[in-house]
Amino acid sequence: MLNASLPTLRHRPFGLWPLVLIAASLLLGALPAGAQTPAPELVLYVRRNMGYGGGSQIQGSFRMEVEGPANLTAVTFKIDTTVVDTLTAAPFRVDFQTDDYGLGWHAMTAEAQTADGRTLVSAPRRFEFVDASVGNSAALRIVGPLFGIILGVMAVVFVLSMLPTWTGRRKPVPLGAPRDYGVLGGTICPKCGRPFPLHLWSINISFAGKYDRCDHCGKWNLVRRASPEALRAAEAAELRQARPAAAAPPAAPPLEKEIDDSRYVE
């Protein structure tokens, strides 16, 4: 026995052993500490069916499942010391509701028997069972800021659109007055028919146009950028509107007065 093994020892390349050891220690050093221990034979997984899972906090319907040798004959799933179920045939998995086990930290374990008479115990998986409201408030924490941003943008647009009215700096544009339509161009108010420049703060509704506020009548309308020709035409229409309006009121009283006066002439 001893004689037989000696010749093989002599043939081993002893000179390479230090190098092999250095290489092995370098490899192991690069791996996480857990990788140095042999892989456990029975691994317990906790998976979510439906509910909330945020870090170590869970709530809802979950499943315990084991991964182990092929010759498992029975698996017992436990939450703390409570046996959830014992299964004697694959698939070795069990569903549970976190709400059935009380709030707080719980340790889940699996214990398995093998056909060759061994008992395997999984490493415990620890989770904090939380109230359903935790999941809801976590969802709100994600969606909440989005709503906040949308509301904020809407508020800013509203304030900007109302500023000229509130500060009283909105001076009425005389009918037919030439105006600068600015970078966005002008449009014609569907309510009062007068042209006004599109505002930078108008709300863009993609293909439908812009939701903008008329400078003249203050009404909100869905408008599109009008062509220069259409704007000139609208300005001309304003002018036609302006002439009779400017001429008629002062003309009437003197005429009536003349007629009235004439009654008392005779």
Vertex 80 angle, CA 78 and 85, to 5°: 20
Considering the rule CB under 5 A, would residue 234 count as an interface residue with Zn ion? no
Question: Distance between CA atoms of 193 and 226, rounded to whole angstroms?
Answer: 12
Considering the rule CB under 5 A, would residue 222 count as an interface residue with Zn ion? no
The distance of closest approach from Cβ of residue 160 to Zn ion in the complex, given in angstroms and rounded to an integer, is 18
The distance of closest approach from Cβ of residue 222 to Zn ion in the complex, given in angstroms and rounded to an integer, is 13
61: closest CA among 88, 91, 17, 101?
101
In the set 63, 125, 170, 216, which binds Zn ion (CB under 5 A)? 216
Q: Which stretch binds Zn ion (CB under 5 A): 64-72, 119-127, 154-162, 207-215?
A: 207-215
Task: Count residues near Zn ion (CB under 5 A).
Answer: 6
Which residue type occupies 139? A
Considering the rule CB under 5 A, would residue 184 count as an interface residue with Zn ion? no
Considering the rule CB under 5 A, would residue 179 count as an interface residue with Zn ion? no
Instruction: Restricting to residues 7-36, name those near Zn ion by CB under 5 A.
Output: none
* Cβ-based nearer residue to Zn ion, 74 or 242: 242
C-beta of residue 215 within 8 angstroms of C-beta of residue 172: no
Concatenated DSSP letters of 207-249: GGEEEEE-TTT--EEEE-PPPHHHHHHHHHHHHHHHHHHHHHH
The distance of closest approach from Cβ of residue 217 to Zn ion in the complex, given in angstroms and rounded to an integer, is 3
* Cβ-based nearer residue to Zn ion, 111 or 212: 212
**Which residue matches tokens 């499943």?**
63
Coil/strand/helix, residue 93: strand
Considering the rule CB under 5 A, would residue 226 count as an interface residue with Zn ion? no
- How far is CA 240 from its chain centroid? 53
In the set 214, 223, 231, 234, which binds Zn ion (CB under 5 A)? 214
Considering the rule CB under 5 A, would residue 48 count as an interface residue with Zn ion? no
In the set 192, 203, 237, 242, which binds Zn ion (CB under 5 A)? 192
Considering the rule CB under 5 A, would residue 230 count as an interface residue with Zn ion? no
* Cβ-based nearer residue to Zn ion, 191 or 224: 191
Note the residue count of the chain.
266
* Cβ-based nearer residue to Zn ion, 138 or 237: 237
The distance of closest approach from Cβ of residue 237 to Zn ion in the complex, given in angstroms and rounded to an integer, is 13
Estimate the share of the chain in helix, then strand, then coil, as percent rounded to the nearest 5: 40, 30, 30
C-beta of residue 100 within 8 angstroms of C-beta of residue 80: no
Binding site for Zn ion (CB under 5 A): 189, 191-192, 214, 216-217
